[in-house]
């Protein structure tokens, strides 16, 4: 980040602290008269990501102490569940954007009047997908501090060697690029893959890619009003879900022109790093990992291909802090999160993590920080997701659906119906 940008962020944060401090002095509200220690649990982001915002908030509210604890991804959700069951959970914790249906009862919604932050404020400040993910029945259950989206990672060297001048912008262009890049011998062995797409187990976030295709096709996947899956429904006389699933799995079928991937390929991220696949779909956090693990890899990032360029749809994936229903200091916890997610409060977090912002008023500013981040920021306002009663279980349902088609256990239509039945059964059990 440029020195000028750092000065702007620091100045904005200082101004916010001064103004809020003056409000506290003049009105005598906004601080607590008793000492409060808020426990904050998170995943992926270390303490340094939040330290500047925590220090700034403590300067305004000297009796509020915030202690952050980092967990590994595998340990995080089980630790939360066990802690809440024993009555010893944190006040604040990071929630995945798909977790609200699963953990709704563990959260106390933001008291909009006391915290001085309304649903209208939420809608005005954050990307639309955050409202569908983090609110329910007019109540706010989490406040986003960033928002990531699925993008297209591509090898410049492989595309150049294959004569593909620009990364594909539509799925038709994607098909053409895949067939132009792929190198497949007479025995259908893949010597060079055009893209990591078509299977389940050896593709990172394979079910997110399929979800993206379903949403772009106009399939709602899950209808919150009827509380049922919508995978087998026809739309305007077309089985759009079947079309999307068939399109996805065709890339792993030797009988199809777009054949470019199979279950024998290395895991998608490894294959991309090794240079045996030209394109993969992933999120912004993979940039740093790839730069560290493969510093000589000549890659770049483009927006995901669209089915309808006039109505772009992207796929969201992010974590947002929320407040435990068991917290004895829920109002103080929410006041901190209102500060943390504010324009000034979140600036240092974004600077430390290089995550794409969820705030509408920071998108254009953050785009100036680099071309790679600009790709993700350009997709923020058109990002979508879907209501998942249990994200881990549903990820397996979608992966099984892909495998059912690829291993000829079911045709696409019956695989969709089987997946729909499983989703509805999971919903009934909730």
In sequence order, what are the residues at sequence separation of 6 or more whose Cβ sits closer than 8 angstroms to the Cβ of residue 257? 175, 179
Spatial contact of 81 and 103, defined as CB atoms under 8 Å apart: no
Domain 149-315+389-429 has CATH 3.30.70.890: no
Average pLDDT for 250-260: 98
- Residue range 286-313, pLDDT digits in tens: 999 999 999 999 999 999 999 999 999 9
Enumerate the domain spans of the chain: 3-147+318-380, 149-315+389-429
Q: How far is residue 236's CA from residue 54's CA, in Å, rounded to a whole number?
A: 52
Instruction: Report residue 384: phi and psi, to 5°.
Output: -135, 170
How is domain 3-147+318-380 classified at the architecture level of CATH?
Answer: 3-Layer(aba) Sandwich (3.40)
Average pLDDT of the chain? 92
In sequence order, what are the residues at sequence separation of 6 or more whose Cβ sits closer than 8 angstroms to the Cβ of residue 32? 61, 63, 64, 332
Q: Which tokens hold the place of 417?
A: 């119906």
Higher-pLDDT residue of 44 and 429 is 44
pTM: 0.91
Tokens 């770049």 sit on residue: 300
- Residue range 10-64, pLDDT digits in tens: 444 544 443 344 333 323 335 566 899 999 999 999 999 999 999 999 999 999 9
């Amino acid at each position: 980040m440029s020195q000028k940008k750092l000065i702007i962020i620091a100045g904005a944060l200082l101004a916010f602290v001064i103004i809020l401090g003056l409000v506290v002095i003049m009105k005598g509200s906004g601080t607590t008269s008793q000492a409060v220690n808020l426990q904050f649990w998170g995943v992926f982001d270390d303490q340094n990501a939040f330290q500047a915002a925590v220090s700034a908030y403590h300067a305004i509210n000297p009796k509020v102490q915030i202690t952050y604890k980092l967990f590994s991804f595998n340990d995080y959700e089980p630790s939360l569940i066990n802690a809440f069951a024993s009555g010893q959970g944190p006040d604040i914790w990071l929630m995945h954007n798909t977790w609200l249906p699963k953990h709704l009862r563990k959260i106390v919604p933001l008291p909009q009047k006391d915290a001085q932050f309304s649903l209208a404020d939420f809608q005005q400040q954050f990307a639309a997908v955050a409202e569908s993910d983090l609110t329910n029945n007019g109540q706010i259950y989490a406040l986003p501090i960033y928002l990531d989206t699925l993008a297209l990672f591509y090898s410049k060297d492989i595309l150049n060697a294959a004569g593909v001048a620009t990364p594909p912008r539509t799925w038709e262009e994607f098909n053409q690029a895949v067939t132009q890049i792929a190198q497949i011998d007479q025995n259908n062995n893949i010597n060079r893959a055009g893209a990591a797409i078509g299977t389940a187990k050896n593709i990172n976030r394979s079910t997110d890619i399929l979800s993206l295709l379903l949403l772009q096709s106009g399939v709602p996947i899950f209808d919150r009003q009827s509380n049922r899956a919508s995978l087998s429904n026809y739309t305007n006389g077309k089985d759009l879900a079947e079309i999307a699933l068939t399109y996805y799995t065709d890339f792993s079928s030797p009988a199809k022109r777009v054949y470019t991937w199979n279950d024998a390929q290395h895991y998608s991220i490894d294959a991309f790093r090794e240079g045996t696949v030209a394109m993969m779909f992933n999120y912004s956090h993979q940039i740093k990992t790839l730069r560290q693990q493969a510093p000589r890899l000549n890659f770049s990032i483009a927006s995901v291909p669209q089915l309808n360029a006039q109505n772009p749809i992207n796929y969201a994936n992010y974590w947002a802090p929320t407040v435990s229903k068991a917290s004895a200091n829920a109002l103080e916890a929410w006041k901190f999160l209102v500060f943390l997610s504010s324009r000034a409060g979140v600036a240092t977090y974004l600077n430390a993590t290089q995550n794409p912002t969820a705030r509408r008023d920071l998108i254009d500013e953050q785009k100036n920080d680099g071309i790679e981040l600009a790709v993700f920021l350009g997709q923020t306002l058109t990002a979508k997701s879907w209501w998942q009663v249990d994200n881990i279980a549903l990820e397996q349902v979608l992966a099984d659906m892909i495998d059912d088609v690829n291993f000829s256990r079911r045709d696409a239509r019956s695989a969709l119906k089987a997946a729909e039945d499983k989703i509805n059964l999971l919903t009934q059990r909730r």
